Chains A and B, each alone.
Chain A
Amino acid sequence: MINFLLFPIIVPFFVAMVLLFFPSKVKAQRTITMLALVINLVISLRLIHLVHTKGIQVVTLGSWDAPFGISMVSDMFSALLVTSTSIIALFVVWTSMFSVGIEREKHFYYPGILFLLTGVNGAFTTGDIFNMFVFFEVLLMASYLLIVLGGEKKQLRESIKYILVNVTSSALFVITVGYLYAVVGTLNMADISQKIAQVNQPGILTVIAVLFLVVFGFKSAIFPLFFWLPKSYAAPPIPVLALFGALLTKVGVYAIIRTYTLFFIHDTAFTHELLMILSIITIVFGLIGALAYFDVKQIIIYNIIIAVGVILFGASIMNETAMEGAIFYLLHDILLKGALFLLIGVLIHVTGTTNLRKMGGVLSTHPVLAWSYLIAAFGLVGIPPLSGFIGKLLIVKGAIEGDELILSLVILLSSLGVLLSVIRIFIHAFWGEAPQEVMYKKDAHYRALLVPAVIITAITVFYGVGAEVLMPYVTQATSTLMNPLEYIQAVLGGA
């Protein structure tokens, strides 16, 4: 089955098309979407197994030879990301059934999510830089739909900003690919890497590397380019926010890691130094935001920015330990951000507000929610048995090996800031006395929302406790990233 690695892209795409035929039959839409996502998850787990036992999977579309057709490449890094994507999508759709409302569901909500999934999985799997642009557009178009669907005033305002920023950065993406094509004359990523190695990365390619950093920095919200994210992400309903927060910025992070480990590896003194500095400033600014707000949504949204900084810092060091840590942290962050947003969604449903000052004493009425939140929060900070620990440990260890002692201290101190920001939610919302005039809801709706949120929190706990089981997969992903020759040989053959 040479086409197997394409199935995580084709299945959601195909199902989304089928769902276009009967938008108002909400029950059928829900059932088919859930079924498709379960199938998708099974397929992506099989894909991990396939890549683990048989090495990097490649198929070049249309039976053309490698640099001329579009290559789709599934190495361990992309297979792991595709699987995390499938898990998150499954839980987001599960929650959506109870919380986005019939009106939204009737207007192509589920096809929107499935098209978004097509784009994300495609961007993780493609081996062609222009095809990556196309998949970016696929996921962005779907995200435009999801951010504006419902037509509330806030959504309309924020979607204008979101679309403007993304149209600009997409135009810049095309220009950058144009420059790169003018220099190396190819679009296949393995071939680009080989051509760059032949010319030994002259100055113009370093310029292109920085342009790529700007383009993907817009998508992944790194330091000077994150300004659009906090307000835009607060506009759509919670399940959409969970999907965006868990996936969209990570596609940008993936693209940065891919280009900076495959293309621009001959003059790392400038490019990777720049990436390192920017990611540290990203962490600092994210921390300032996370500590400044008394709004639960904003606190978690700024934590997305912090995590992007931590992952990119790990990737910029360019040694095996730190790269392993970055991959661990990236996967952890996809799952955990999904879990945190879903839990916050339950909290907002219960209290009816996002303002921390108006909450209090939820622990005594909703203990399951409270303890799940505490576990997720500790996981985010990286307290040992939980999921964030091993990633950050490896990043810090790699940073010390790479003689970046002071910067690794920044990472450790940032954990304290993250702890403060998320534990503030716990203290203000869960401890203390409830304000007198509020009656907290504890209905069937609350339980329906709680179940997926708790299950995904449990998955993040298993992710942390079972790090030993995951280690060989992450090691394999790292070895492909650190030795681009493996990737080139898999795509182009023995050349």
Chain B
Amino acid sequence: MKTNDVILQTTANIVFFIIFLFSIHIFFAGHYAPGGGFVGGLLTSSAIVLLLLAYDLKTISTALPINYVVMTAIGLLIAITTAAASIMFNMPFFTHAYDYYDLPLLGKQSLHSAMAFDLGVYLVVVGVTMTIIQTIGADD
């Protein structure tokens, strides 16, 4: 008999966005407050796992058509290019740059190239976690 999990699915649809937004918040908070790419990535993948629990693998891979191995590779590439950018300026590897900018809506904010490195970490964490879960889940 097929169970009806309409309550779980409706809740998951709403809660997914709350968790996802929280993970984005945690990711951006990383420089001045606890958080960063690693926890941000784990939270995002936990949001996707919630969807996986409420629906099934096939539905989610049509809704989010992402190749997570490629996502990992892109994350690694972003991280190493950020670190290697300093080579162009003949500074030691991993030297970061930052400055203050007046952004529309947000006002005066500092932009730091460590952010791009963190984005790389974020993508790798999401990619690796989801690859592990999908591979084990799809295994019979």
Contacts and interface: CB of A to CB of B under 8 A. Distances in A.
A1 interface: yes
Interface residues of B, number: 17
A446 interface: no
B124 to A, nearest CB: 10
Contacts of B72: 20
A197 interface: no
B94 A10 contact: no
B120 to A, nearest CB: 11
A14 B80 CA distance: 8
A61 B80 contact: no
A38 B72 CA distance: 26
B70 A61 contact: no
B90 A2 contact: yes
Given A20-B69, A20-B73, A63 B91 contact: yes
Interface residues of A, number: 19
Interface in B16-71: 69-70
B80 A3 contact: no
Which of A1, A23, A62, A69 has most B Cβ within 10 Å? Answer: A62
B80 A62 contact: no
Nearest to B69: A20
Contact of A2 (B70, B76, B92, B96): B92
B87 interface: yes
Given A17-B77, A20-B69, A10 B84 contact: yes
Given A1-B90, A3-B87, A21-B70, A62 B95 contact: yes
A62 B92 contact: yes
A354 interface: no
Interface in A29-88: 59-63, 69, 72
B40 to A, nearest CB: 21
Contacts of B101: none
Contacts of A10: 80, 84, 93
B92 A61 contact: yes
A13 B77 CA distance: 10
B3 to A, nearest CB: 36
Contact of B96 (A21, A23, A62, A72): A62
Which of B77, B84, B86, B93 has most A Cβ within 10 Å? Answer: B93
25 contacts: A1-B90, A2-B90, A2-B92, A3-B86, A6-B93, A10-B84, A13-B80, A14-B84, A17-B77, A20-B69, A20-B73, A21-B70, A21-B73, A23-B69, A59-B92, A60-B92, A61-B93, A61-B94, A61-B95, A62-B93, A62-B95, A62-B96, A63-B92, A63-B95, A69-B92
**Which 9 pairs show the lowest CB-CB distances between chains A and B?**
A20-B73, A61-B94, A62-B94, A63-B95, A17-B76, A59-B92, A3-B87, A63-B92, A3-B93
Given A2-B90, A21-B70, 20 more contacts: A1-B90, A2-B91, A3-B87, A3-B90, A13-B80, A14-B80, A17-B80, A18-B73, A20-B69, A20-B70, A23-B69, A59-B92, A60-B92, A61-B92, A61-B94, A62-B93, A62-B95, A62-B96, A63-B86, A69-B92
